[in-house]
Amino acid sequence: MAPTDLGRKGSLKIVDLPKILRNGSFYIAQARIRTMLQWKWSILGEALATPVFYLLSIGIGIGKFVNSHQSTGVDGVKYLTFLAPALLAATCVQGAVGEATFPVLEGFKWHRGFFAMNATPISGKQIANGVLIAAMARTAFGCALYYTALLSFGGLHGLHSLWLIPMTLFSAASFAVLMMGICAAIKNDDLFLNMVQRFLIMPLFLFSGTFYSLSSMPKFLQVIGWASPLWHATELGRWISYGHHLSHAAIIFHFTYMAIMSLVGIKFAHHHFMRRLSK
């Protein structure tokens, strides 16, 4: 029989509550990242293949066609340059949304891991924060690789374009927190992910001025873009990347919109995480 003397000191002596209250979110994030690392090769493969395929097919393929028919390019620049900030934003938003949906549904419903976390001193808020931190860490990794690919293909130029990365992550986080709250709130996830992909992510991708300027769309479709953090990120990205014209008021408006969406989203996520865990 194996030795079983646990040599107890007791939780009253060994558990450090202030440390947990301070660092709990990071413990959750570390655990999530540890789980993600189980699929590190597929994460790396996806992060590399996505930009390469997109840039070869749309950026270069369609770009050649557009440039040959329009000598001044689009918005005064080559099509790939016009497209690059939007593709970066779209990929990051999609990546963050993926990391904010599957793990939350898994944590609450499929494997109920969040209930195990909440049986410790960790709170619902800390679980939500930890999931968000881990989601953004993975998104940042994908974003950095995509950014490098865009530089290599000539879609981005200069050091100033590095500002695209934090701005894009900000927009991705503003959308991710909202999705986290929705996933925490829903009881029945049948078809939910398909619906999100088909009726939310895809329309946002298509109608947020990614492939052409939003102003060239009918007014009723422009509304989708105005509501989408992706359009705000795309507008700011083009301004950062090649100096796309934006007034000071427009710049402030785009940042404010994403900031408000982030704040409302995180409150919404906290509320539904705590509510679901106490049911």
Partner 1 sequence: MSSADSSIQAAEPLIRARGLRKDYGSFTAVDGIDFQVNRGDSFGFLGPNGAGKSTTMRIIAATLTRTSGEITILGKDPEVSGPEIRAHLGVVPQQDNLDNSLTVSDNLFVYGRYFGLSKKFIRSKIEELLAFAQLEEKRDVKVEALSGGMKRRLTIARALVSEPEILMLDEPTTGLDPQARHILWDRLFRLKEQGVTLLITTHYMDEAEQLCDRLMVMDKGQIMAEDSPANLIKKYSTKEVLEVRFGADRNAIYADRLRGMCDRIEVLPDRVLMYLDDCEELLHQVVSEGMHPTTSLVRRSSLEDVFLRLTGRTLVE
Positions touching partner 1 (CB under 8 A) are: 2-21, 23-24, 27-28, 30-31, 34-35, 38, 111-113, 115-123, 277-279
Q: How far is CA 133 from the centre of its chain?
A: 11
Sequence-ordered list of residues with C-beta below 8 angstroms from that of 145, at least 6 positions apart, any chain: 47, 48, 51
Per-residue CA distances from 53 to 58, 91, 157, 176, 278 (Å): 8, 12, 20, 25, 45
**Closest separation between CB of residue 274 and partner 1, Å?**
10
Is the Cβ of residue 27 or residue 253 nearer to partner 1 in the bound state?
A: 27
Rounded Cα gap, residues 95 and 47, in angstroms: 10
**Closest separation between CB of residue 13 and partner 1, Å?**
7
Sequence-ordered list of residues with C-beta below 8 angstroms from that of 205, at least 6 positions apart, any chain: 90, 94, 230
Task: Name the 3-class secondary structure at 72.
Answer: coil
Is the Cβ of residue 26 or residue 141 nearer to partner 1 in the bound state?
A: 26
**Closest separation between CB of residue 277 and partner 1, Å?**
6
Is the Cβ of residue 138 or residue 254 nearer to partner 1 in the bound state?
A: 138
Is the Cβ of residue 10 or residue 158 nearer to partner 1 in the bound state?
A: 10
Q: Write out the H or E segment, with its range, that includes residue 13.
A: helix 11-14
**Closest separation between CB of residue 1 and partner 1, Å?**
9
**Closest separation between CB of residue 205 and partner 1, Å?**
29
Is the Cβ of residue 16 or residue 226 nearer to partner 1 in the bound state?
A: 16
Rounded Cα gap, residues 59 and 53, in angstroms: 9
Is the Cβ of residue 64 or residue 111 nearer to partner 1 in the bound state?
A: 111
Task: Return phi, psi of residue 67, to 5°.
Answer: -65, -35
Is the Cβ of residue 43 or residue 165 nearer to partner 1 in the bound state?
A: 43
Rounded Cα gap, residues 36 and 50, in angstroms: 18
Task: Return phi, psi of residue 74, to 5°.
Answer: -115, 130
